Chains A and B, each alone.
Chain A
Amino acid sequence: MSIAVSTPAAPRAWTLRIRNAGFVFGVVICGVVMFAALFGNALIPHDPFTQNLNNRLAPPFWMDGTQSAHLLGTDQLGRDYLARLVYGARISLLIGLTTMIVSGLIGTTIGTMGGYFGGIVDDIVLFLITCRLSIPVVLVALAVVGLLGSSLTLVISTLGLLLWDRFAVVARSTTMQVRSLDYVSAAVCAGSSTPRLLFREILPNIAPHLAVVATLEIALAILLEAALSFLGLGVPQPLPSWGLMIAEGKDYMFFSPWVIMIPGVTLFMFVMGVNFVGDGLRSLLGAEQPR
């Protein structure tokens, strides 16, 4: 696997402008979600867990019969939908970031080792990546949570242990490329130790590529958590994960489609925002996708 070195045709000014618009769009969405996660529940007068069985499935503001107290309506147990949605941002963000850190540490370590030392170490690294790729992620994650019981920590650690493959692939190929560059040879000649070479010369130079992978992994982890929670083996009730909100709304979706539209659109927009940030980072940092 090597890095494509083809020089793309010079993008015209206004395609760059579209790309920048995408980046700004992504940053704004991520900013809104972060704000909601940090301060949302302090600003909303309702508690995301308080039930009111006399006021179930109240419609959101754009529909008839809406209640001004509940802007996005209430769910099947009469809990305020906006409060739950905002609390869900916390869960998605937490899972996305921590999974990215865990898988990033594992993948970067493995990949850099393989790319730097080469030879038998690299053979082992390639073997590990191949094994990891042949494991069906959703199935195994579901099985772990199913056997050990659902909890937030378990979901995070399972996803973190499963999603390091892309970090490893990219760290490996970029390290290989950087290692053959002149300034690394110069550092070797100057007598730099291996740790110094790895941390001072290699890592800073592969970091932009890893930053792009990090955004992709955050997006993937958030989608996977939603899927696991949707299948009932992710974040435990009554925590309002967006995937769990969609699962709970599923029974009512034919009569009140908004119960799955609100969390679904939020999830979709957030993941797209993260992807746009990654796409913008890629062009800003000059880190075109290897492969």
Chain B
Amino acid sequence: MVRFILRRAALGLLVALTVMTLAFMLTRLSGDLAISIAGPNASQTDIEIIRKAYGLDRPVIVQFLSWIGRAMVGDLGESFFFKDKVTNLIAARMPITMTLGLIGLGLALMISIPLGTLAALRESTWIDRAVTIVTMIGQAMPSFWFGLILMITFGLTLGWLPISGTGSWQHFVMPGVVLALTATPALTRLTRSGMIEAISSDYIRTARAKGLSRASIVFKHALRNAAIPVVSIAAVQLGFMLGGSIVVETVFALHGVGFLGWESITKNDFPVVQGVVLVFAVIYVGLTMLADIFNALLDPRIRST
């Protein structure tokens, strides 16, 4: 088990390094960063001053290695626009994004587990088909547009919820629902297929032969086994949702990490963009690693591969 965890951690580190390289290359795409930072009206001397001040006069490989080296010890550089450390900026906004992500995931699980179970128990009936159609509707809904409709309906017409901002828990309701929508279809389908597999397995046949009640079979035996893949995919989905929070946070003007990323992109603030991409990627790598280890703990067969 220790070997499995170590190997998994080494892979995670390798993935993180690759993504760091990509994030660095990404911000160098535009060519000369000093010119874009200085703005259209800058003189040649201004550009030279900026180039020196941000260390952009050094060879690219030196810039890259120094960025990697400092990122390793938790220093992601300084923002051009906010004049603050990138780590401080992200840390200050992370609680909002995390709250949003966890609300979204919680809601998504609350919808998808009952729906998926129901569809599996009534496989190949109109109920199963209806659940499939509901997931297809959820999948086709553009999340930003769904957010705007919620705003018009619950913010303006009914006046139940605040339209944008971060002041109270009510501010997280609509964004949470929108974010939940992005994860619900996948989780529902996974619960459904997991349950179908569990129901047709030998131990369920045994339980049935022993004369256990239907409720006990479904909830105590089948659901518990079907939940294992769902829990690990839920961790992965949380990673996707945090990465996707940029759309939801921008629509509802929630000042989380996603919003910070969008703001920095529009302001050409490349240390922040690099930092946000890296942080989201590292969170995703960490979550998938935890899910894999969790799975291996529950199912010894996985460890040997």
Contacts and interface: CB of A to CB of B under 8 A. Distances in A.
A260 interface: yes
Contact of A131 (B15, B243, B268, B276): B15
Contacts of B14: 127
B136 to A, nearest CB: 5
B137 interface: yes
Contacts of A271: 139-140, 142
Nearest to A264: B145
Contacts of B133: 22
Interface in B1-57: 11, 14-16, 18-19, 22, 26-27, 29-30, 36
Given A219-B139, A227-B142, A279-B136, A134 B281 contact: yes
A43 interface: no
A106 to B, nearest CB: 15
Given A8-B123, A275-B136, A227 B26 contact: no
A139 to B, nearest CB: 5
Interface string A122-143: 0000010011011111111011
Contact of B142 (A130, A243, A253): A243
B278 to A, nearest CB: 10
Contact of A139 (B145, B243, B268): B243
Nearest to A147: B30
Given A135-B19, A246-B145, A254-B152, A231 B247 contact: yes
A31 interface: no
A235 B197 CA distance: 44
Contacts of A127: 11, 14-15
Contacts, number: 157
B125 A15 contact: yes
Contacts of B125: 12, 15
B285 interface: yes
Contacts of A276: 136
Interface in A248-266: 250, 253-254, 257, 260, 264
Contacts of A254: 152, 156
Contacts of A269: 140
B262 interface: yes
Given A147-B26, A230-B247, A275-B136, 19 more contacts: A8-B196, A15-B126, A131-B22, A134-B285, A135-B277, A139-B277, A142-B265, A143-B26, A146-B265, A147-B36, A147-B265, A148-B29, A226-B145, A227-B247, A231-B144, A231-B246, A254-B156, A268-B140, A272-B136
6 contacts: A8-B123, A130-B288, A143-B273, A226-B145, A231-B144, A243-B142
